[in-house]
């Protein structure tokens, strides 16, 4: 295994008493900051009907952040492909790659990124699209392939462009598919860690080399809350835990200031549910982050760790990126 790469996942999370415009600007500032620190890439996630997330128009936001940066790779983590036709995604990402050559990634997921009612609105009442995920990926690859020149339907821009594709997932189904297609694989351990070990084993054992990827490339996304002291990091982490509690109880809240204790403290059912979602969370100083992440990456054969950063205060959020970089990137 080579040197561990470090990157970031961004949802353009809207903070309490803030606006979508401010959330997008905060995402831009984060991207510019981690670019200077040597992070490999920043990915934007597609979500819908969520009042505290501003990344629903994912391709648009990728273009905006790519335009505000110069070297860092920018991509989707991911595009929920069943919500779109492969041709539309080929054209969108072909356009992005044409504007920002050599910097665009296309991560693809099968989930709707929302609730079922909204998924119906996105998919015009056809909820069977997720069953064609593999076929849609193959169709998308065909649109990018230069051999598609004789086809009746072609993607412009897109045809002949080399845009790396990644399979995203939070279960073993995605591991089997990524291995079969010979594509890089990114696992969402930041909110669904339960099947991480199984998925990694399946992906590495069953991987079939392809023209896109000669050997397995495994990205694991985790939550990281870093600060100058363990006590401060633990305090800052309550914003993350409280946000997950809102998801579990269906009382969704914007990213809010930290609290002395998680708001659900003492409610066993919620405590257990939150803990099951955030098992892959690293909290502490440069030392704790370095030791924890390196051991974790080795255990799961990760080539790259993608970090979330749900810290309410923007200055402390940027400082956390500094600490992550010192721990894992800079020597």
User: In this predicted model, what pLDDT tens digit does every residue of 86-119 receive, in sequence order?
Assistant: 999 999 999 999 999 999 999 999 988 778 888 8
Arithmetic mean of pLDDT, 207-212: 97
- C-alpha span between 294 and 296 (Å, rounded): 5
- pTM (2 decimals)? 0.96
Q: What is the pLDDT of residue 143?
A: 98
pLDDT at 119: 80
Read off the pLDDT of residues 276-300 as tens digits, 9 standing for 90 and up: 999 999 999 999 999 999 999 999 9
For residue 6, is pLDDT > 70?
A: yes
Q: What's phi and psi for 170, nearest 5 deg? A: -135, 20
pLDDT for 126 equals 72
What is the torsion angle, in degrees rounded to the nearest 10, for the CA atoms of residue 317, residue 321, residue 326 and residue 331? -160
Residue 331's pLDDT is what? 64
Cα angle vertex 202, ends 199, 203, to 5°? Answer: 85
Residue 295 confidence (pLDDT): 98
> Going by C-beta distance under 8 Å and a sequence separation of 6 or more, which residues neighbour residue 275?
none
Give the per-residue pLDDT at 236: 98
Q: How confident is the model at residue 128 (pLDDT cuts 50, 70, 90)?
A: confident
Q: Domain coordinates of the chain in residue numbers?
A: 5-226+283-328
Per-residue pLDDT at 130 exceeds 90: no
Average pLDDT over residues 297-304: 98
Helix (H) / strand (E) containing 200? helix 196-206
Mean pLDDT of 164-177: 97
* Residue 187 φ then ψ, to 5°: -110, 135
The CATH architecture assigned to 5-226+283-328 reads Alpha-Beta Barrel (3.20)
Q: What is the mean pLDDT of residues 62-91?
A: 97
Q: Is 1 a residue whose pLDDT tops 60?
A: no
The whole-chain average pLDDT of the chain stands at: 95
Instruction: Give pLDDT, residue 116.
Output: 82
CB contact at 8 A, 208 and 179 = yes
């Amino acid at each position: 295994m080579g040197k561990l790469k470090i990157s970031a996942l961004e949802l353009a999370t809207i903070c309490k008493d803030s606006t979508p415009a401010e959330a997008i600007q905060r995402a831009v500032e984060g991207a510019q900051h981690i670019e200077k620190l040597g992070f490999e890439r920043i990915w934007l996630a597609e979500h819908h009907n969520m009042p505290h997330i501003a990344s629903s128009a994912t391709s648009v936001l990728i273009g905006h952040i790519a335009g505000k940066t110069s070297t860092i790779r920018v991509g989707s983590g991911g595009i929920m492909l069943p919500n779109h036709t492969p041709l539309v995604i080929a054209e969108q990402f072909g356009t992005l790659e044409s504007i920002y050559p050599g910097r665009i990634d296309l991560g693809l997921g099968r989930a709707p990124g929302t609730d079922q009612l909204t998924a119906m609105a996105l998919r015009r009442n056809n909820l069977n699209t997720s069953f064609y995920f593999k076929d849609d990926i193959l169709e998308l690859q065909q649109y990018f392939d230069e051999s598609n020149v004789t086809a009746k339907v072609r993607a412009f821009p897109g045809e002949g462009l080399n845009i790396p594709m990644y399979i995203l997932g939070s279960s073993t189904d995605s591991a089997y598919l990524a291995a079969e297609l010979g594509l890089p694989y990114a696992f969402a351990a930041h909110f669904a860690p339960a099947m991480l070990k199984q998925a990694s084993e399946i992906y590495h054992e069953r991987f079939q080399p392809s023209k896109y990827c000669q050997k397995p490339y495994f990205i694991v996304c985790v939550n990281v809350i870093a600060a100058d002291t363990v006590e401060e990091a633990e305090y800052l982490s309550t914003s993350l835990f409280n946000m997950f509690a809102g998801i579990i109880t269906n009382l969704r809240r914007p990213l809010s200031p930290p609290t002395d204790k998680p708001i659900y403290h003492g409610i066993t059912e919620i405590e257990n549910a939150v803990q099951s979602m955030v098992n892959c969370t690293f909290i502490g100083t440069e030392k704790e982050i370095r030791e924890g992440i390196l051991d974790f990456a080795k255990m799961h054969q990760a080539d790259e760790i993608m970090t979330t950063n749900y810290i309410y205060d923007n200055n402390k959020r940027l400082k956390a990126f500094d600490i992550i970089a010192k721990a894992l990137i800079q020597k």
